[in-house]
Amino acid sequence: MDPLSVSPKISKIRHRHRHSCVACFKMFNRREHLVEHMKIASHSLHQPRCPVCLKHSKSFESVREHLNVPDHLFKGNCKTIFSIRGCTLCLQLFEEPTSLADHQIKCHLSAPRLLGTATQGSAVNASLNASGTRFKAVAIDCEMVGGGDDGSIDLCASICMVDENENVIFSTHVQPQVPVTNYRNEVTGLTEEDLKDGMPLQFVRERVLSILGNGHNDGTGRLLVGHDLKHDMNCLKLQYPSHLLRDTATYRPLMKTNLVSQSLKYLTKSYLGYKIQCGKHEPYEDCVSAMRLYKRMRDQEHGVCGKAEGDDGLNSWKQSELEKMKPEELYRNSRSDYRCWCLDRIINP
């Protein structure tokens, strides 16, 4: 939906003040203040926005707060309309209650269950999926045990990788490189016996890189999905090109209002509708949940705002040129300050 095509109420509000932002509706006394705001805010059609009034926000958490404002601060009709016609998971709005009910059946997912138990060090053909085409993305999750005198050194003890269809493509326990002083059993469920015949870390690293296509810059490397990938990569002693990482902990729309990371447990309950990590952490469950979050973000329909190579949005224009633009023109020339995951679908159909 075009954010410039708005309700009569919003249009009336905008015309009341000459220097108002068409994305977040903030008002300014001077045109140069509006221009400065637009340069800092980096508004674009990729930003999360209220499905009712189309107000843009930094994150979906901000949109949720906007739609759940306390009654004594309640203004407008967004909260009322959304409570009747909106999906609380994906924040879409529907014209009819029946359409909403049908959608919620598909949107509200069940917790993943691994059918059978992957054998130690097992892996399927990591290059092809069932239809014979290459995977575009794989998800990874590692569980850590503790080393060192106080057990604070993170050691990779198990790893799981899944494809976009939630099939396990690699799963194994990992031999610790130094003595384990804390198995963190209440979280990992692991014991000394589990790790006794684990795969050496070097072999694990080689297998992971083989699955990922070695992260080639020619586009053959796969997208790597996960939550707090920096932590997993550090424990595996791996580096991977940042442009191929899809981290649900650092993706701007999934962060808190103050742009601090949310837990995977919170994101899964809020955006997918089921609980995880109620007892010990299951690598397969965490892997699948991260992949589902990625796909839900990737499959959003935003259209293309055409950020060409070298296009720095409003910073590409002279200040004098920007101050001559109407608010709608400023918005059309503005660019997001993060790469939206929906572009993965557009670039790799």
- List pLDDT tens digits, range 22-74: 999 999 999 999 999 999 999 999 999 999 999 999 999 999 999 988 765 66
Q: What is the pLDDT along the chain (349 residues), one digit of tens a residue?
A: 555 554 554 444 444 457 899 999 999 999 999 999 999 999 999 999 999 999 999 999 999 999 988 765 666 789 999 999 999 999 999 999 899 999 999 999 999 986 544 444 444 433 344 333 445 899 999 999 999 888 889 999 999 999 999 999 999 999 988 999 999 988 888 888 889 889 999 999 999 999 998 555 455 689 999 999 999 999 999 999 999 999 999 999 999 988 899 999 999 999 999 999 888 888 999 999 999 999 999 999 887 655 544 467 898 899 999 999 999 999 999 999 999 999 998 655 4
CA atoms within 13 A on the CB side of 94: 16
**pLDDT tens-digit profile of 271-290?**
999 999 888 888 999 999 99
* Residue-range domains of the chain with CATH: 19-108+304-345 (no CATH), 137-299 (3.30.420.10)
Residue 302 has a pLDDT of 85
Amino acid at 62: S
pTM for the full predicted model? 0.86
DSSP H helices in the chain:
8-16, 31-41, 60-67, 78-85, 97-107, 185-188, 192-195, 201-212, 229-236, 264-267, 283-298, 319-322, 327-333, 342-347
Burial of 138-175, coded b for 16+ CB within 10 Å and e otherwise, reads bbbbbbbbbbeeeeebbbbbbbbbbbbeeebbbbbbbb
Residues in the chain: 349
Residue 349 has a pLDDT of 44
Three-state DSSP class for residue 336: coil
Angstrom distance (rounded) from CA 274 to CA 288:
12
C-alpha pair distances (Å), 125 with each of 153, 170, 207, 214: 33, 9, 11, 15
* Pair type for strands 137-147 and 153-162: antiparallel
* Pair type for strands 137-147 and 180-182: antiparallel
Q: What values do phi and psi take at 277, rounded to 5?
A: 55, 40
Q: What values do phi and psi take at 200, rounded to 5?
A: -60, 145
